[in-house]
Amino acid sequence: MKSRPLNTFTLKLVEKLKKAPIAFEEFLDELKQNKERFFDSPELEFELLLTNGFPLEIENDKVYLKTTRTLIEEQTFCIVDIETNGSQVSKGHQIIEIGAVKLKGGQIIDKFESLVYAKSIPEYIQEVTNITPEMLEDAPTLKAVLKEFKLFLEDDVFVAHDIKFDYNFVSNSFKKYDLGVLENRKLCTINLAKRTIKAEKYGLGFLKELLHINIENHHRAYSDALSTAYLLKEAFSRLDSSIKTVEDLIYFSKNANPVMPKVKADNGKKKEKRKEEE
């Protein structure tokens, strides 16, 4: 299957669906208006959205965004981490390891882990990850791993520590191999941690130490995904009871005030406000 171009169309659909469900026929009309749609048939375009992980469901001839109705404790979250041999798919860089765990109701219910064949790995990445070219010689191809991972992911919420990199890299990799694109709802644990956990820094290594998450092999995909899952559980435990649905959670992670206020800088130095003695 060929992939369609990334665009803002589905983002607009999400915003509409967050406000209210849309009648199925009206939804199909919306799909017809998408100038970058892959199929002429809106019914096939609807199926493509589902295949790409857009969490839609039909009830009483209305289309709902699942995450507006699904409670946090009932949602399956797929926590993902990847190791790559560079930063851009467009420049020929690729995933060399992918790890993921599924979390639902506070319990880990499934996992995914695979090295990926690659011809080369820069030395500095070998030093950080301890992944060597020899380890990848008999690993499955990237396309094979991506196909398997897409089936594993389904339409779960895609979670990562620094969501922008992992989500976009995986989506662009899907696109490169004609496997569609990611349309899953997504959640960044850096953003969520900043709104639930008081910390001086929000890198995964620092938060693991702060929260006593004792998982070794930092900078390996599965270990980092597992660590992020425990971080997510900790963040959940600190949420206000008013945050009930998955969409409540996503909104909170992006818009709530951080628990640690930003420190203003003046010429590179921390600027502290002091009361003046009169």
Q: Are 85 and 121 in contact (CB under 8 A)?
A: yes
Biggest CA pair distance of the chain = 75
The verdict on whether 212 is a catalytic residue reads: no
Distances (CA, A) of 108 to 28, 101, 119, 230: 36, 7, 33, 9
Structure tokens, 261: 């206020």
Burial label, 245 (beta-carbon count in 10 A; 0-12, 13-18, 19+):
middle
**Catalytic one among 93, 212, 218, 219?**
219
Buried b / exposed e across 5-33, counting CB within 10 Å, b at 16+? Answer: eeeebeeebbeebeeebbebeebbebbee
Which residue type sits at 175?
K
Phi, psi of 128 (to 5 degrees): -75, -45
Q: Classify strands 77-84 and 157-160 as parallel, antiparallel or unpaired.
A: parallel
Catalytic annotation, residues? 219
